[in-house]
């Protein structure tokens, strides 16, 4: 039996995720080793993600390593993965989801959140987080914040910002969540936020069968629904589209929205369906939003990119 080569980015969080997969495989008596790959998204820490044409910026280097047989599987934060996988690459498993929530790491206190006249400065490189924040706090200023979670936390400490927005799962997985942080219960997450996905080569059926044993049905279904919603709205990582699907008893609940980059417009949708018939709910919700003025936001974003 060959040793499965696991491709990972070099950041602490990426290595943690790859090591988790290695541990899960060892419990199935499958040997593996880590292979470190530097991605374009890790090299350029200055340009805002939405200016990089960000779809796939953290995954394409691993895709290339996978397709050239340098690695056998790649491990990703699923929210970083384009809705259309590279040709020849197959989703093999989605692990049970951690927290899907966003959190605010604040510097001194959160008094500015309850002051409608405050002119706080908040840091994030995510256009989705920026749009939702400005929708709720139109007086605030958003600063760009790039880098791995360690780098971003250090930048928060070094700057005079009021706070910065992070994914809870990223900080909690590597035990870096500061005490001075709060859940943003009102903020809808990125599609598939908090989930880890493992991909392999399409033709490598032996590896696929081994990895697929790790697949979590509920997380797989919910993240597919959220990504279907994103793809239907022609969105990627650089569009302010949010979605969350959850399984409750025998039903699936979906909440989704799209917000203009300046935060002034927001269109939301909620749907629920019996679990047995829920596979298409993301496609349906996206199609319904496209029948509203939400499509004007999409058209303006596409026009701005040309």
Return the H-helix or E-strand segment holding 6.
strand 4-8
Contact 175, 101 (CB under 8 A): no
Determine which one of 72, 80, 102, 228 is catalytic: 80
**Annotated catalytic residue 80:** yes
Query: Backbone dihedral region of 29: left (phi > 0), alpha (psi from -120 to 50 degrees) or beta?
Result: left
Q: How many residues does the chain have?
A: 306
Contact 9, 215 (CB under 8 A): no
For residue 241, list its beta bridge partners.
258
* DSSP per-residue codes, 136-204: H-TT-EEE---S-HHHHHHHHHHS--SEEEEEHHHHHHTT---SSEEE-TTSPPPTTTT-EEEEEETT-
Catalytic residues: 80
């Amino acid at each position: 039996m060959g040793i499965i080569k696991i491709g990972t980015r070099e950041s602490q969080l990426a290595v943690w995720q790859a090591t988790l997969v290695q541990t899960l495989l060892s419990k199935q008596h499958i040997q593996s080793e880590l292979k470190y790959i530097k991605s374009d998204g890790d090299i350029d820490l200055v340009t805002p993600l939405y200016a990089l044409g960000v779809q796939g910026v953290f995954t394409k280097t691993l895709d290339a390593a996978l397709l050239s047989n340098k690695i056998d599987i790649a491990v990703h934060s699923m929210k970083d993965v384009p809705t259309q996988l590279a040709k020849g690459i197959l989703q093999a498993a989605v692990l049970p989801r951690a927290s899907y929530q966003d959190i605010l790491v604040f510097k001194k206190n959160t008094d500015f959140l309850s002051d409608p006249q405050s002119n706080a400065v908040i840091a994030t490189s995510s256009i989705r987080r920026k749009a939702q924040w400005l929708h709720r706090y139109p007086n605030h200023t958003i600063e760009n914040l790039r880098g791995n979670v360690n780098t971003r936390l250090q930048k928060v400490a070094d700057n005079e910002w009021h706070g910065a927005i992070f994914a809870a799962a990223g900080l909690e997985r590597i035990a870096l969540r500061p005490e001075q942080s709060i859940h943003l219960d009102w903020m809808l997450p990125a599609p598939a936020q908090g989930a880890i996905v493992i991909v392999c080569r399409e033709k490598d059926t032996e590896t696929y069968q081994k990895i697929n044993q790790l697949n979590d049905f509920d997380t797989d279904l919910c993240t597919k629904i959220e990504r279907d919603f994103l793809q239907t709205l022609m969105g990627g990582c650089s569009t302010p589209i949010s979605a969350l699907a959850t399984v409750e008893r025998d039903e699936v609940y979906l909440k989704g929205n799209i917000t203009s980059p300046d935060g002034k417009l927001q269109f939301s949708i909620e749907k629920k369906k019996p679990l047995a018939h829920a596979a298409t709910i993301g496609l349906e919700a996206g199609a319904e939003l496209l029948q509203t003025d939400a499509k004007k936001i999409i058209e303006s974003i596409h026009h701005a990119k040309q």
